[in-house]
Structure 1
Amino acid sequence: MNPRDISQASDPDLRASLTALRRAAALARKTAIQTGTDLVVVRDGQTVWISADTLRNQTKTDRDSAR
């Protein structure tokens, strides 16, 4: 299912699930930065560890580009 399909689902929990997943991902990034731990994700079927420093730099870059 793509995001457009989910947004039109009849089940309200399913419609809200994409937003909940994004919120959970943002909280996981924030927690990793605060605790100085790596964030572990799967990209293209590969396990990837993202350091807290990399997350900090990405967050700073995102904030700078939003201005």
Structure 2
Amino acid sequence: MSVSKTFYQFLMTQRNPESYDPISEFANNAFYDQAFPKQSTNFDELSKYLELNGNYLPSMTIFDETWQKYLDSNAH
């Protein structure tokens, strides 16, 4: 499967400062995370990073849901 954009690029399309949706909040917070692995398309790398550094992410389930949306968006 060829990936057209990085997870971070996809995540930035979910940003909405007016929204309290968990995925929007994740995107808003990741935008301010200077160390976020912006070039990564690897689930394990991103998951490990967020487990260690994603204190702004209240649940890894939010990452899992966002990752699935990312895969779906690249399937088209």
Q: Above 0.5 in TM-score?
A: no
Structure having greater relative contact order (Cα 8 Å, sep ≥ 6): 2
Q: What's the TM-score bracket when you normalise by the shorter of the two chains?
A: 0.3 to 0.5
Higher percent of residues as helix: 1
Higher percent of residues as strand: 1
Return the TM-score normalized by structure 2. Answer: 0.32
Higher Rg of the two aligned structures? 1
Return the TM-score normalized by structure 1. Answer: 0.36
